[in-house]
A and B are shown apart, each in its own frame.
Chain A
Amino acid sequence: MSRLMKQPSLPMSAPKKQGLYDPANEHDSCGVGFVAHIKNRKSHDIVEKGLEILLRLTHRGAAGADPREGDGAGILLQIPNDFFQSIAPELGINLPEEGKYGVGMVFLPKDESHRKACEKLVEQTISDEGQLFLGWRDVPCDAIRADLPESVTACEPVIRQVFIGTGDNSADQDAFERKLYVIRRVARNLIDELGFEDEANFYFASMSSRTIVYKGMFHSHQVGTYYEDLRDARMTSALALVHQRFSTNTFPAWELAHPFRMVAHNGEINTVRGNINWMNARRHSMKSELLGDDLDKLWPVIGEGQSDTACFDNAIELLTMGGYSLAHAAMLLIPEAWAGNSLMDEKRKAFYEYHAAVMEPWDGPAAVAFTDGRQIGATLDRNGLRPARYLITDDDLVLMASEMGVLDIPEEKIVKKWRLQPGKMFLIDLEEGKIIPEADLKAELADQKPYQKILAETQVQLESLPKEVAPMAPEHDALLDKQQAFGYSQEDLKFLMTPMAISGQEATGSMGNDNPLAVLSNRSRHLSNYFRQLFAQVTNPPIDPIREEMVMSLTSIIGPRPNLLGLDAEEPQMRLEVHQPILTNIDLEKVRHIERYTDGQFRTTTLSMCYTADQGAAGMEAALTRLCEAAEKAVNEHYNIVIISDREMDADHMAIPSLLATSAVHQHLINKGLRTEAGLVVETGSAREIHHFATLAGYGAEAINPYLAFETLFDLQRSGQFPEELTLEEIKTRYIKAIGKGLYKVMSKMGISTYQSYCGAQIFEAIGLSSDFVAKYFTGTPTQIEGVGLDEISEEASKLHRTAFGNAQVYKNALDDGGEYAWRVRGEEHMLGPDTIAKLQHAVRTDNYNLYKEYADHINDQTGRLLTLRGLFKFKDSNAIPIDEVESAENIVKRFVTGAMSFGSISHEAHSTLAIAMNRLGGKSNTGEGGEEPERFTPMENGDSMRSAIKQVASGRFGVTTEYLANADQIQIKMAQGAKPGEGGQLPGHKVDQRIGRVRHSTPGVGLISPPPHHDIYSIEDLAQLIFDLKNTNTDADISVKLVSEIGVGTVAAGVVKAHADHVVIAGHDGGTGASPLTSIKHAGAPWELGLAETQQTLVLNRLRGRTRLQADGQMRTGRDVVIAALLGADEIAFGTIALVAEGCIMMRKCHLNTCPVGVATQDPELRKKFVGKPEDVVNYFMFVAEEAREIMAGLGIRTYDELIGHTEFLDTNDAIRHWKSEGLDLSPLLHQVDAKEAAIHHCETQDHGLDKLIDNKLIEQSKSALEDKKPVIIETPICNVDRSFGTMLSGKVAKKYGMKGLAEDSIVINAKGTAGQSLGAWLARGVTIDLAGEGNDYVGKGLSGGRIAIYPPKESSIKADENIIVGNTVLFGAVAGECYFNGIGGERFAVRNSGAVAVVEGVGDHGCEYMTGGTIVVLGETGRNFAAGMSGGIAYVLDEAGDFESRCNMAQVALEPIASEADALEALDHQGLDLETHGRVDIKHSLSQNDQIILRTLIERHVHYTNSARGKMILENWDDYLPKFTKVMPVDYKRALSEMEAEMNASKGKEHANG
Chain B
Amino acid sequence: MGKATGFKEFSRENLSYAPVADRITHYNEFSKLPADMSTQGARCMDCGVPFCHNGCPINNIIPDWNDCVYNGNWREALDILHSTNNFPEFTGRICPAPCEEACTVNLIGDAVSIKNIELSIVEKGWEEKWIAPQIAAHKTGKKIAIVGSGPAGMAAAQQLARVGHDVVVYEKENRVGGLMRYGIPNFKFDKKIIDRRISQMSAEGVEFRTDVHIGVDLSTKELLNDFDAVLLTGGSEKPRDLPIEGRDELSGIHYAMELLTKNTKRVLGDDVAEEDFISATGKHVVVIGGGDTGSDCIGTSSRHGAESITQLEIMPAPPESPNKLTTWPNWPMRMRTSTSQEEGCERDFSVATKRFVGENGKVTAIECVRVDWAQGENGQWQMSEIAGSEFTLKADLVLLAMGFLHPVHEGMIEELGVDKDGRGNVAANDQDYQTSLDKVFAAGDMRRGQSLVVWAIREGRQAARSVDQYLMGSTDLPR
Chain B residues closer than 8 Å to A821, beta-carbon distance? 48
> Per a CB cutoff under 8 Å, which of B50, B54, B79, B478 touches A808?
B478
Q: Do B53 and A838 touch across chains, with their CB atoms under 8 A apart?
A: no
Q: Do B45 and A1148 touch across chains, with their CB atoms under 8 A apart?
A: yes
Given A809-B162, A845-B325: A838 touches B51 (CB 8 Å cut-off)? yes
B1's nearest neighbour on chain A, judged by CB, is A494
Against A, the Cβ 8 Å flags (1 = close, 0 = not) of B326-343 are 101110000000000000
B309 interfacial by beta-carbon distance below 8 Å: no
> Per a CB cutoff under 8 Å, which of A830, A1147, A1153, A1157 touches B107?
A1157
What's the minimum C-beta distance from B246 to chain A, rounded to whole angstroms?
A: 44
Given A809-B162, A1166-B8: A834 touches B55 (CB 8 Å cut-off)? yes
Chain B residues closer than 8 Å to A837, beta-carbon distance? 49
Chain A residues closer than 8 Å to B237, beta-carbon distance? none
Q: Do A845 and B326 touch across chains, with their CB atoms under 8 A apart?
A: yes
Q: Do A1148 and B325 touch across chains, with their CB atoms under 8 A apart?
A: no
Count of chain B residues with Cβ under 8 Å from any Cβ of A? 38
Given A822-B63, A826-B478, A1146-B47: A1157 touches B104 (CB 8 Å cut-off)? yes
Chain B residues closer than 8 Å to A814, beta-carbon distance? 79-80, 83
Q: Which of A511, A809, A817, A1149 has the most C-beta atoms of chain B within 10 angstroms of its own C-beta?
A: A809
What's the minimum C-beta distance from B463 to chain A, rounded to whole angstroms?
A: 15
If over half of A's interface residues share one DSSP class (helix, strand or loop), that class is named, otherwise mixed; here it is: loop
Q: Do A846 and B326 touch across chains, with their CB atoms under 8 A apart?
A: yes
- CB within 8 Å of B: which A14-43 residues: none
Against B, the Cβ 8 Å flags (1 = close, 0 = not) of A803-818 are 0001111100110010
Given A809-B162, A809-B477: A833 touches B45 (CB 8 Å cut-off)? no
Chain B residues closer than 8 Å to A720, beta-carbon distance? 73
Against B, the Cβ 8 Å flags (1 = close, 0 = not) of A1159-1173 are 000000011001010
> Per a CB cutoff under 8 Å, which of A834, A841, A845 touches B49?
A834
Q: Do B108 and A1170 touch across chains, with their CB atoms under 8 A apart?
A: yes
A1150 interfacial by beta-carbon distance below 8 Å: yes
Given A838-B329, A1148-B45: A1157 touches B7 (CB 8 Å cut-off)? yes
> Per a CB cutoff under 8 Å, which of B4, B64, B328 touches A838?
B328
A835's nearest neighbour on chain B, judged by CB, is B54
Chain A residues closer than 8 Å to B267, beta-carbon distance? none
Q: Do B326 and A834 touch across chains, with their CB atoms under 8 A apart?
A: no
Against A, the Cβ 8 Å flags (1 = close, 0 = not) of B436-479 are 00000000000000000000000000000000000000001110
Chain B residues closer than 8 Å to A1155, beta-carbon distance? 4-5, 7-8, 45
CA of A674 to CA of B120 in the docked complex: distance in angstroms?
64
Q: Do A833 and B54 touch across chains, with their CB atoms under 8 A apart?
A: yes
B46 interfacial by beta-carbon distance below 8 Å: yes
Chain A residues closer than 8 Å to B53, beta-carbon distance? 823-825, 834
- CB within 8 Å of B: which A835-865 residues: 835, 837-838, 841-842, 845-846
A822's nearest neighbour on chain B, judged by CB, is B48
A832 interfacial by beta-carbon distance below 8 Å: yes
What's the minimum C-beta distance from A986 to chain B, rounded to whole angstroms?
A: 18
- CB within 8 Å of B: which A777-821 residues: 806-810, 813-814, 817, 821
A1320 interfacial by beta-carbon distance below 8 Å: no
CA of A761 to CA of B53 in the docked complex: distance in angstroms?
43
Chain A residues closer than 8 Å to B5, beta-carbon distance? 1155
Against A, the Cβ 8 Å flags (1 = close, 0 = not) of B280-308 are 00000000000000000000000000000
CA of A1172 to CA of B328 in the docked complex: distance in angstroms?
13
What's the minimum C-beta distance from B379 to chain A, rounded to whole angstroms?
A: 11
Q: Which of B73, B107, B159 has the most C-beta atoms of chain A within 10 angstroms of its own C-beta?
A: B107
B3's nearest neighbour on chain A, judged by CB, is A1155
Q: Do B49 and A1146 touch across chains, with their CB atoms under 8 A apart?
A: yes
Chain B residues closer than 8 Å to A826, beta-carbon distance? 59, 478
Chain A residues closer than 8 Å to B159, beta-carbon distance? 809
CA of A1158 to CA of B108 in the docked complex: distance in angstroms?
7
Given A807-B476, A809-B477, A1170-B108: A834 touches B45 (CB 8 Å cut-off)? no
B61 interfacial by beta-carbon distance below 8 Å: yes
B398 interfacial by beta-carbon distance below 8 Å: no
Chain B residues closer than 8 Å to A835, beta-carbon distance? 54
CA of A1149 to CA of B477 in the docked complex: distance in angstroms?
32
> Per a CB cutoff under 8 Å, which of A824, A834, A1158, A1172 touches B102?
A834
Q: Do A825 and B326 touch across chains, with their CB atoms under 8 A apart?
A: no
CA of A822 to CA of B105 in the docked complex: distance in angstroms?
17
What's the minimum C-beta distance from B89 to chain A, rounded to whole angstroms?
A: 20
Q: Which of B48, B63, B80 has the most C-beta atoms of chain A within 10 angstroms of its own C-beta?
A: B48
- CB within 8 Å of B: which A192-247 residues: none
Against B, the Cβ 8 Å flags (1 = close, 0 = not) of A505-521 are 00000010000000000
Q: Do B478 and A1149 touch across chains, with their CB atoms under 8 A apart?
A: no
CA of A1046 to CA of B477 in the docked complex: distance in angstroms?
41
Given A825-B59, A842-B326, A1157-B105: A1147 touches B49 (CB 8 Å cut-off)? yes
B159's nearest neighbour on chain A, judged by CB, is A809
Chain B residues closer than 8 Å to A1158, beta-carbon distance? 107-108
Chain A residues closer than 8 Å to B102, beta-carbon distance? 834
What's the minimum C-beta distance from A849 to chain B, rounded to whole angstroms?
A: 15
Given A808-B478, A810-B478: A838 touches B48 (CB 8 Å cut-off)? no
CA of A813 to CA of B64 in the docked complex: distance in angstroms?
15
CA of A1349 to CA of B6 in the docked complex: distance in angstroms?
53
Q: Do B50 and A822 touch across chains, with their CB atoms under 8 A apart?
A: yes
CA of A808 to CA of B59 in the docked complex: distance in angstroms?
18
A1153's nearest neighbour on chain B, judged by CB, is B4
Q: Do A824 and B55 touch across chains, with their CB atoms under 8 A apart?
A: no
B72's nearest neighbour on chain A, judged by CB, is A720
Q: Do A838 and B46 touch across chains, with their CB atoms under 8 A apart?
A: no
A833's nearest neighbour on chain B, judged by CB, is B49
B47's nearest neighbour on chain A, judged by CB, is A1148
CA of A841 to CA of B325 in the docked complex: distance in angstroms?
8
CA of A720 to CA of B64 in the docked complex: distance in angstroms?
16
- CB within 8 Å of A: which B360-378 residues: none
Chain A residues closer than 8 Å to B55, beta-carbon distance? 834
Chain A residues closer than 8 Å to B63, beta-carbon distance? 822
CA of A1146 to CA of B107 in the docked complex: distance in angstroms?
10
Chain A residues closer than 8 Å to B47, beta-carbon distance? 822, 1146-1150
Q: Do A1150 and B79 touch across chains, with their CB atoms under 8 A apart?
A: no
A1144's nearest neighbour on chain B, judged by CB, is B325
CA of A834 to CA of B325 in the docked complex: distance in angstroms?
14
What's the minimum C-beta distance from B473 to chain A, rounded to whole angstroms?
A: 14
Chain B residues closer than 8 Å to A1147, beta-carbon distance? 47-49
What's the minimum C-beta distance from B221 to chain A, rounded to whole angstroms?
A: 33
Given A838-B330, A845-B326, A1150-B4: A825 touches B54 (CB 8 Å cut-off)? yes
CA of A846 to CA of B325 in the docked complex: distance in angstroms?
10
Chain A residues closer than 8 Å to B46, beta-carbon distance? 822
What's the minimum C-beta distance from B471 to chain A, rounded to whole angstroms?
A: 15
B58's nearest neighbour on chain A, judged by CB, is A825
- CB within 8 Å of A: which B149-172 residues: 159, 162-163
Chain A residues closer than 8 Å to B476, beta-carbon distance? 806-809
A832's nearest neighbour on chain B, judged by CB, is B49
What's the minimum C-beta distance from B179 to chain A, rounded to whole angstroms?
A: 26
CA of A1170 to CA of B329 in the docked complex: distance in angstroms?
16
A510's nearest neighbour on chain B, judged by CB, is B48
Q: Do B108 and A1148 touch across chains, with their CB atoms under 8 A apart?
A: no
Ranked 5 nearest A-B pairs via Cβ? A1149-B48, A834-B54, A825-B59, A808-B476, A1147-B49
Q: List 30 A-B contacts (CB under 8 A).
A: A720-B73, A806-B476, A807-B476, A808-B476, A809-B83, A809-B159, A809-B478, A814-B83, A822-B46, A822-B49, A823-B49, A823-B53, A823-B54, A824-B53, A832-B49, A833-B49, A834-B54, A835-B54, A838-B330, A841-B325, A1146-B104, A1147-B47, A1150-B4, A1150-B45, A1153-B4, A1155-B8, A1158-B107, A1158-B108, A1167-B8, A1172-B325
Apart from A1146-B104, A1166-B8, what 20 extra A-B contacts exist at CB < 8 Å?
Answer: A808-B476, A810-B83, A822-B46, A823-B48, A823-B49, A824-B50, A825-B53, A825-B59, A834-B49, A834-B54, A834-B102, A835-B54, A838-B51, A1147-B47, A1147-B48, A1149-B47, A1150-B4, A1155-B45, A1157-B107, A1158-B107
